[in-house]
Amino acid sequence: MSKILRVNMTDLTARFEDVPEKYRLTGGRGLTSSITCDEVPPTCHPLGPNNKITFAVGIVAGTSAPTSGRISIGGKSPLTGTIKETNSGGMAGQKLARLGLKAIIVEGQPKEKGKLWLLKVDKAGAQLQPADGFTSKGLYETYPMLFKKFSDKVAIIGIGTSGERLMSMAGICVNDPENRPSRYAGRGGMGAVMGSKGLKAIILDDAGGPGVPIANKEAFDAGRKKLVAALREHDITKPGGALNTTGTATLINVIDEAGALPTRNFSDGRFEGANKISGETLKETCEKRGGVGMVGHSCSPGCIIKCSNVYPRPDGTEHVSVQEYESIWALGANCGIDSLDATGELIRLCNDYGVDTIEAGVTIGVAMEAGLAKFGDSQKAIELMHEIGQGTPLGHILGSGAAATASTFGVVRCPTVKGQAMPAYEPRPIKGIGIIYATSTMGADHTAGYTIAPEILDIGGSVDKLVAEKSALARHFLHATAYLFDSTGHCLFISFAVLDNPSGLEGVVEECNGVLGTSWTVDDVLRMGGDIVKKERAFNKAAGFTSVDDRLPEFMKYEKLPPHNVAFDVPDTELDKTHDS
């Protein structure tokens, strides 16, 4: 039977507990949100002793289910003040599951302020060790040191200097299959929560671990085959498909053409330099420069979509992995920067310092709006990233995120919801994603409900992006995402195949039935996703949030965005209907 590992940083103890029956049939976000709701006071300070941080595996993590190795990390966010779940690919999810663990809960704070620790977990148990010698360094230096100490076969979940300094844009890093510090549970400042617990890194060694028991292998295998077939047939996810050949950055030109690529701090929907930072150009650059450059890279074991990449310098040596759509947009078009070499360096610095690329890029865009740099000035953007990495006074302001930076410098055009920066889809011409941004329990977040699929890509149907009445669509996506992807451990990108192929959707449910011994239907999964969202909303309500917080920033209601020249005109009554049922 799977266990939960509970680590108390006050008395430096670690103990294993049986999984309570109420948690047995969930995982990932369903588990992190349940534990947060059950054990964290909603009004507590996110960086104080009463918050907790939970690391949870998805239901099918550690199995042969395709593209299923994500790990969820949850607690109360210092960026938003809401409940938070953020998840990552990489090596940790599979190894944690194969150690027979469903979750790690970290609570309390060290008595010695500023002291940081390493948590080593293997088949023999769990132990805390001083992190002396592994702190105050970039992660490109720290991770090789940790692998040298513990073996290059382990997984590492760690924070950079931004997390050590408790910055609200700090993410949590997981190594990829080649042990780069490159996969991030970036959103919501959970790296600061991990830092507040005095925990520098978790090291997972699954050698000799018990693995993941499967209650009904026949059901699991049938479901797995259905999902694999759906993924290999769909134009977006198949080998040689869009994600496999040009990565997530394939969306740069698509969203730009739709007039919804936020440009120069959300002042335009089209970027004249979009093609220079597109997935097509990224692919061409990797091929032209050669060396280690590649597309079709896997971010975690068992991924058959392979949308990652390794971006090379002009001489073919490695610059960074990975240049993804959200990161390229945030540090590129949003800042008026049209160079993949520049976005590559900015992403590399985010990886090194341990910050969320979306929050960092939107923050730099706000700083440019404030006059700290000119739009398009990549060198100044790099200098601002170094301010964050070095922890200067300005760096601490920027490291607190876009909302704090806008407030400090008097910037009105601040593209945040509940304090979290908006991702790479302008909500004024794409109304459904705007409703998701507004009504998500965790601030502006495209992964909470990817309505871009029907609104832009005609996947799962076709919906006019400019139509405002989409509360029902948003509700469906919010509920489906909460369980179908975030709780199972599957990557969100399987959604393209399962939305267009009912057999693929059935396959995900059958995989879960196989692992858990249940007999769920698709309707059951949607209902359980709705239960997760309701639980999260109850936490936020107890923390002081109301429907007034489920709104986009005021400037989007009166500033009309080129080229469609539209404002966000979804009525508040429509936003409030999203969670009516």
For 445-475, write each residue's pLDDT tens digit: 999 999 999 999 999 999 999 999 999 999 9
Nearest Cα to Cα of residue 182 among 384, 323, 279: 323
Nearest Cα to Cα of residue 516 among 227, 213, 223, 225: 213
Residue 53, C-beta contacts closer than 8 angstroms, at least 6 positions apart: 73, 74, 75, 105, 106, 190, 193, 194, 197
Residue 453, C-beta contacts closer than 8 angstroms, at least 6 positions apart: 459, 460, 495, 496, 499
For residues 31 and 39, what is the distance between their CA atoms, to the nearest angstrom?
12
Give DSSP secondary structure letters for 214-266.
Answer: -S-HHHHHHHHHHHHHHHHHSTTTSTTSHHHHH-GGGHHHHHHHTT---BTTT
The encoded tokens of residue 80 equal: 């938003």
Q: How large a percentage of the chain has pLDDT more than 70?
A: 100
Q: How many residues does the chain have?
A: 581
| Cα 335 from chain centre | 21
Show pLDDT as tens, one digit a residue, over the chain (581 residues).
589 999 999 999 999 999 999 999 999 999 999 999 999 999 999 999 999 999 999 999 999 999 998 999 999 999 999 999 999 999 999 999 999 999 999 999 999 988 999 999 999 999 999 999 999 999 999 999 999 999 999 999 999 999 999 999 999 999 999 999 999 999 999 999 999 999 999 999 999 999 999 999 999 999 999 999 999 999 999 999 999 999 999 999 999 999 999 999 999 999 999 999 999 999 999 999 999 999 999 999 999 999 999 999 999 999 999 999 999 999 999 999 999 999 999 999 999 999 999 999 999 999 999 999 999 999 999 999 999 999 999 999 999 999 999 999 999 999 999 999 999 999 999 999 999 999 999 999 999 999 999 999 999 999 999 999 999 999 999 999 999 999 999 999 999 999 999 999 999 999 999 999 999 999 999 999 999 999 999 999 999 999 999 999 999 999 999 999 999 999 999 999 999 86
The encoded tokens of residue 568 equal: 């966000």
The pair phi, psi for residue 173, each rounded to 5°, is -100, 140
* Cβ atoms of 329 and 262 closer than 8 Å: yes
Three-class DSSP category at 123 = coil
Sheet-wide strand order for 83-88: 13-18, 3-8, 101-107, 53-57, 71-76, 83-88
Give DSSP secondary structure letters for 539-559.
Answer: HHHHTT--GGGSS--THHHHS
For residues 463 and 454, what is the distance between their CA atoms, to the nearest angstrom?
5
Nearest Cα to Cα of residue 200 among 133, 122, 104, 124: 133
- pLDDT score, position 580: 85
- pLDDT score, position 1: 54
For residues 59 and 81, what is the distance between their CA atoms, to the nearest angstrom?
27
- pLDDT score, position 335: 99
* Cβ atoms of 188 and 84 closer than 8 Å: yes
- pLDDT score, position 581: 65
For residues 55 and 234, what is the distance between their CA atoms, to the nearest angstrom?
32
Spell out the domains of the chain, with CATH numbers in brackets. Answer: 3-204 (3.60.9.10), 214-236+427-581 (1.10.599.10), 245-426 (1.10.569.10)
Beta bridge partners of 126: 121
Which H or E element spans position 89? none
* Cβ atoms of 491 and 65 closer than 8 Å: no
> CA geometry: angle at 183 spanning 182 and 186, to 5°?
115
Residue 207, C-beta contacts closer than 8 angstroms, at least 6 positions apart: 122, 123, 153
Beta bridge partners of 127: 120
What is the torsional sign of CA 163, 426, 266, 548?
Answer: negative
For residues 411 and 248, what is the distance between their CA atoms, to the nearest angstrom?
31
The residue behind tokens 């706000």 is: 366
For 354-470, where are the alpha helices, taking DSSP H only? Answer: 357-369, 378-390, 393-399, 402-409, 431-439, 452-455
Cβ neighbours of 492 (radius 10 Å): 17
Three-class DSSP category at 286 = helix
* Cβ atoms of 383 and 391 closer than 8 Å: no
Pairing of strands 199-204, 117-122: parallel
3-state class percentages of the chain: helix first, strand second, coil last, to nearest 5: 45, 15, 40
pLDDT, tens digit, 9 for 90 and up, residues 500-528: 999 999 999 999 999 999 999 999 999 99
